[in-house]
Amino acid sequence: MWRAAMLLCLCLPGLGLAADFRTFVGHGGPVVGVVVSEDGQSLLTASFDYSIGYWRLSDASEPLWLEGHRAAVNTVNFLSDSSAVSGSDDFSLIIWDLKDGSVTRRLEGHKGKVTAVRPSPGGDMIASASWDGTIHLWDLTSGNQIAVLQSPDGGFNDVLWLDSGHSVATASVGGTLIEWDVQSQRPMRVLARHGFGINRLEADESEGWLAYGAVDGGTRVLNLADGAELADLTLDRRPILAIAKSADGSLLAVGDGEGYVMVVSTEDWSILRDFHAAVNGPIWALDFTASGDGIFAAGISDAVSLWPMESGDLDPLTAETERSFHVDPSTVSNGERQFLRKCSVCHTLGAAGERRAGPALAGLFGRRSGSLDGYSYSDALRELDIVWSEDTIDKLFELGPDHFTPGSKMPMQRITSAEDRADLVEFLRLKTAAGE
């Protein structure tokens, strides 16, 4: 088990639920999902480090860490005040007991990364979207798969329940926004053909609108009755990676790949605030406090920041931990630069202890693959007969993990330059032997 990470909470006077600026630290990788409970008392965070954090917002206590996924966790949602559901790059969904962090049920059936999980309005079903080009509808009580919707144009990035759970809207990599009838499992209508992938959806059925954000930066609001465009919120920033509405529906927040958060009034679709929340990378996830007086933003940093809505803009550097790979290349050796760019998000050079997606690298040379105690390797890597050496590490990055270690958790990446690979191997040989 990884050592429990320390929680750092930075806030203005008082630890009440008023939206003072705060940061929530403990993850060991970028945070890509964030959601606030309906009562506003709790927060769930999903991370590249394979874990989910369950935070109580009324105090500064250590979060409950939910461990069970075998790859990056992309999405998480509350099912009730005591349960949650998450989706991962390991193709599975997990139902969690939030009282003790245990796995209640694992739902398997997708053949690609799970990009969104949404409980139905009645709370009896879950919809999951995946890059495998399917939407799965699950019965929450039994865990059985009750329907599968097939994409006409590639993987799905998001899914949203409509019409009290009788239909769902889907956003595809191919740029099509479709409403489907749940009972017949057939498309009812195409709401938009955007031309570029649609990443995120949000809607307010009581007010009759649906908003979407796309890869090209397109941000549109549609009339749910007839699909007509109500507003074009597109700015010169791309891609759109996060959209959230406040609990009362009066505010809509949009996060993009350049680190900005735009907050819009849904009364007249005017921009109320537009601020730079992450200077070194994207905004991957957003959600409002229950009262709407603050907004949680997560991105390339390992931390989540809570921004007050009514104050002046804060320096974004106070909310962001700069990643190691942002270092000036002229200040480090080429071998270290390769490590920072290719390895540092998932691995530490020292012994196990920090929360990370990959195993610690101390003592790497001469170690058999899949053999470090305390790390949950894939079965495929455990069965490989590889001993890490200058030659095998070189081959790993020359061929890529998908060819050299097929079935492992390591993301697909290559270093094509033999000189760059040699410099990385030499850096690792020196640093992992020293256990730095």
Q: Would you state the pLDDT for residue 131?
A: 93
**Local confidence band at 319 (pLDDT 50, 70, 90 cut-offs):** very low
Render pLDDT for 259-277 as a digit per residue (tens, 0 to 9): 999 999 999 999 999 988 8
pLDDT higher than 80, residue 393: yes
pLDDT higher than 60, residue 7: no
Q: Which of 103-117, 359-373, 397-411 has the lowest mean pLDDT?
A: 397-411
**CA angle centred on 49, ends 44 and 50, rounded to 5°:** 70
Q: Would you state the pLDDT for residue 292?
A: 95
**Local confidence band at 59 (pLDDT 50, 70, 90 cut-offs):** confident
Superfamily of domain 324-434: Cytochrome c-like domain (1.10.760.10)
Taking the C-alpha atoms of residue 98 and residue 93, their distance in angstroms, rounded to an integer, is 15
Q: Would you state the pLDDT for residue 401?
A: 81
Cβ partners under 8 Å of residue 171, min gap 6: 129, 156, 157, 158, 159, 177, 198, 199, 200, 201, 212
Q: Which of 1-5, 153-157, 231-235, 247-251 has the lowest mean pLDDT?
A: 1-5
Q: Would you state the pLDDT for residue 256?
A: 96
Q: Would you state the pLDDT for residue 350?
A: 77
Is the domain covering 22-318 a CATH 2.130.10.10 domain? yes
For residue 180 the two structure tokens come to 């489907």
pLDDT higher than 70, residue 18: no
Q: Would you state the pLDDT for residue 320?
A: 47
User: Looking at residue 350, what DSSP letter applies?
Assistant: S
Q: Which of 83-92, 208-217, 336-345 has the lowest mean pLDDT?
A: 336-345
Q: Would you state the pLDDT for residue 331?
A: 80
Q: Would you state the pLDDT for residue 328?
A: 61
Render pLDDT for 114-151 as a digit per residue (tens, 0 to 9): 999 999 999 999 999 999 999 999 999 999 999 999 99
Q: Would you state the pLDDT for residue 1?
A: 30
Cβ partners under 8 Å of residue 48, min gap 6: 27, 29, 30, 31, 32, 72, 73, 345, 346, 357
Q: Would you state the pLDDT for residue 411?
A: 67
Render pLDDT for 338-390 as a digit per residue (tens, 0 to 9): 887 778 777 888 776 666 777 889 899 999 998 988 777 777 778 888 999 99
DSSP string of 133-181?
Answer: SEEEEEETTT--EEEEEEPSSS-EEEEEEEGGGTEEEEEETTSEEEEEE
Q: Which of 105-119, 166-180, 198-212, 278-292 has the lowest mean pLDDT?
A: 278-292
pLDDT higher than 50, residue 181: yes
Structural domain boundaries of the chain?
22-318, 324-434
Q: Would you state the pLDDT for residue 242?
A: 98
Q: Would you state the pLDDT for residue 323?
A: 52
Has this prediction a pTM greater than 0.85?
Answer: no
Environment class of residue 183 by beta-carbon count within 10 Å: exposed (0-12), middle (13-18) or buried (19+)? exposed
